[in-house]
Structure 1
Amino acid sequence: MGLKLLFICTGNTCRSPMAEGLARKIFGDSVQVGSAGMAAYGGESANTHALEVLKEQNIDLSRHFSRRISAELMADADWIIPMTQAQEEALKRLFPEYAEKVRYLGDWGEQKREVVDPWGGSLEIYRQTAQEIGNLLSAIKSYLA
């Protein structure tokens, strides 16, 4: 297996699972992907809107269960990719030994932008978030190519 990418959001039920599912589709078998949350409880299913939006793209998140970020997960990944700059900064403070491999999702292309948490939003907001994540993942794919 090639490169290992770990996507991070707050609870690991919306943005990072969507990024994980979309990355599997975009990168295929060339990259191993996972996700975790800064404040995840662990064992929660993906948000129902996240499940629905990715199902529309033939991506199945039904087996996803949230997990909290840990030193072990950080050590195992080649790149740790949080959704916001604040999460990037927090991860670098919590795990300084892995700071060089932490870079937020919106910092890979020319547009510096954060992926806003869709939690509590409508299905359409989740669709917009998934589209934004997909666009940003394309920038990562170009960068890593």
Structure 2
Amino acid sequence: MKVLFVCLGNICRSPMAEAIFNHKANQLLRADSCGTAAYHIGDEPDPRTLKVLKKHGIVCDHVGRQLAKEDFEKFDLILAMDKANLQDILRAGKNYSHKVKLMREYDPQGPGEVPDPYYGGDKDFQEVFDILERSIET
């Protein structure tokens, strides 16, 4: 199974989800991440993302990239962090809606969106980590 995590810029939420998933998954499961926007192509994850991952013993060597047409064929499951990105993904891959879901559909504490921590602080990044970890462990 191949899973793709998608957020807007691909430097906070989706690379964090990718790193958590790959850290916890066995070799039969692999994940990647990307953004719907081209803001951070080639960039490393936000330093605060790396900080919270390191705190939990997770290494992340991700480089930002944008969602590509071939992703719809390559991945079995595409998880959007929020409704805006969900709509962008569905517009880009109209024939692949069966593969696309919101990340928090897997959160045992309830559906909703993964908040973007970009304009927040360490507490916000930890909150996102907790949401993603819960959702991935389900």
The interval holding the TM-score normalised by the smaller chain is: over 0.9
C-alpha displacement of 1:57: 1.1
CA apart distance, 1:112: 1.3
- SS of 1:112's partner is coil
Give the % identical residues.
29
Report the counterpart of residue 17 of structure 2 in structure 1.
Answer: 19
How far apart are the structure 2 equivalents of 1:109 and 1:120? 23
Which whole-Å deviations, capped at 9, do the CAs of 1:91-128 have from their partners, x for residues lacking one? 11221021110001012355211101000211121011
Q: Say how many residue pairs are matched.
A: 136
Note closer, same or farther for the CA distance 1:28–1:40 as it changes in structure 2 (3 Å cut): farther
Q: Tell me the equivalent position of 1:51.
A: 50
TM-score (norm 2): 0.92
Structure 2 SS opposite 1:103:
strand
Aligned counterpart for 1:70 among listed residues 54, 68, 71: 68
Partner letter of residue 48 of structure 2?
Answer: H
SS in 2 for 1:50: helix
2:107–2:131 contact (8 Å) kept in structure 1 = no
The answer to whether structure 1 residue 79 and structure 2 residue 83 are counterparts is no
1:33 aligns with 2:47: no
With the length of structure 1 as denominator, give the TM-score of the two structures: 0.88
Q: Output the CA distance in 1 between the equivalents of 2:107 and 2:50.
A: 27
User: Structure 1 segments of 4 or more deviating over 6 A?
Assistant: none
Give ranges in structure 1 of 5+ residues lacking alignment. 140-145
